[in-house]
Amino acid sequence: MIIRSLVRRPGAVQCLVQRCRATPSPFSARNLHSKPTLDRHAELLQNGIPGLFTPKGFNIAYEQYHQHIVDGLNEATSGTEWENQEPKALVVEWARNPMTAYGFNMASMAFNNHFFFKGINTDPNTVSAPPTDLLPEINKHFTSLETLKETFLATADAMFGPGFVWLVQQDDTATRKLSILTTYLAGSPLAGAHWRRQSHDLNHHNADSYQGLNPVGSFGSAARQEPKLKKPLGGVDVVPLLCVNTWEHVWLQDYGIGGKRDYLEAWWDRIDWNKVRDNGDFRGANVPFSQGVRKFAF
């Protein structure tokens, strides 16, 4: 019973049979989610992303796939109390409960895919290179940009199956360390959705190794726990800066079955490093966040 209801999406069987995904059911509210547009969207539709995606590849990776995800999101939310919520809020809300796994998957893929495409530099005239205030931080945590590139791309290449690889900044005030995080399938790096971070492929674990991952029940002074960042309620432990989408549909059209490594190399040259710097906090160690920030008017 449980397996059946986990598998079945609301209206999935009917939709498969009648192909009614595009048409809303008569009793549901209007569909509020729509696919967002990117910078220079018209050019991207025409020319793709030069150096990364052909027009057909971009069409599959973003236009068709993101529309598919947004349709699923509408299906999961329209007519419910969640219909006006943003995908990020839905990710955090639905991460814990397995019964809401479908909605979580849709919201998380919408967030991750949009994050990926926003992090790409779509201007064909500019060369992607990290700005000068970002390089010292990269060198501090990864010894050099080349090492970061090698580690990042090797991690992404080694992942078996679809997922995302993220460059994240941790939130401790002392170092604000940069690190690489993998999320399989629709896993999310957001702090409130750690139940579905999915940073490990459980197929590579047996019962003993899984014990090391699963912290359920380990509390108290006798438990051997590595010291973790003390996160306040609602606080954030990692901030995502950059991600690459390693789902096959993204690169299959343009790079072929064996072209994952080529795709990753091409993507690295199209990163928008200014967005990376803006997403994170690179003002220096132990500088409080509120310094230099204008007062908010209430």
Partner 1 sequence: MIIRHVAARGSYRALVQNRLKQFRRFFSEVTSIEATADSSVNQLQALEGQLNSQTAFSVPTASPDTQAAPLSGSVAEQYHKFKHLEKHFGHLGSDISPHYQPHALLNNPPSPADVTLELLLAAEAHQGHLTSLWNPANARYIQGIRQGVHIISLEVTAAHLRRAAKVVQEVSRRGGLVLFVGTRDGQDRAVVKASQMAKGYHLFERWIPGSITNGQQILGKCRTKVVNEKDEEVPGFEEQLYDRPVLRPDLVVCLNPLENYVLLHECALNNIPTIGVIDTNADPTWVTYPIPANDDSIRCIQVIAGVLGRAGQAGQKQRLAAAQQGHITYRAARDLRLPEEVEEAISPEVMNKLEEGMLDDGNGLDEKLDQVRNRERSGRTLKQMD
Binding mask of the shown chain, residues 247 to 276, with x at each position contacting partner 1 by CB under 8 A: --------------x---------------
Q: In this structure, are strands 178-184 and 238-245 parallel, antiparallel, or unpaired?
A: unpaired
Residue 45 near partner 1 by CB under 8 A = no
Residue 279 near partner 1 by CB under 8 A = yes
- Contact (CB, 8 A) for 151 and 163: no
Angle at 25 between CA 24 and CA 31, to 5 degrees: 35
Taking the complex as a whole, how short is the minimal distance between the CB of residue 141 and partner 1, in angstroms? Answer: 11
Q: What number of CA atoms fall less than 13 Å from residue 287's CA on the CB side?
A: 10
Taking the complex as a whole, how short is the minimal distance between the CB of residue 93 and partner 1, in angstroms? Answer: 13
Residue 151 near partner 1 by CB under 8 A = yes
Binding mask of the shown chain, residues 194 to 233, with x at each position contacting partner 1 by CB under 8 A: -----xxx--x---------------------xxxxxxx-
| 22: DSSP letter | S
- Contact (CB, 8 A) for 273 and 134: yes
Residues 6+ apart with CB under 8 A from 47: 55
Exactly one of 17, 207, 216, 293 binds partner 1 (CB under 8 A); that residue is: 293
Residue 239 near partner 1 by CB under 8 A = yes
Using DSSP's 3-state secondary structure scheme, residue 52 falls into: coil
What is the C-alpha separation between 177 and 238, in angstroms, rounded? 9
Residue 119 near partner 1 by CB under 8 A = no
Exactly one of 17, 30, 222, 297 binds partner 1 (CB under 8 A); that residue is: 30
- Contact (CB, 8 A) for 235 and 171: yes
Using DSSP's 3-state secondary structure scheme, residue 66 falls into: helix
What is the C-alpha separation between 286 and 178, in angstroms, rounded? 15
Residue 118 near partner 1 by CB under 8 A = yes
Tell me which residues touch partner 1 (CB under 8 A).
30, 32-37, 70, 73, 84, 86-88, 107, 110-111, 114-115, 118, 143, 147, 150-151, 154-155, 157-160, 168, 170-175, 179-182, 199-201, 204, 226-232, 234-237, 239-240, 261, 278-279, 281, 288-290, 293, 296
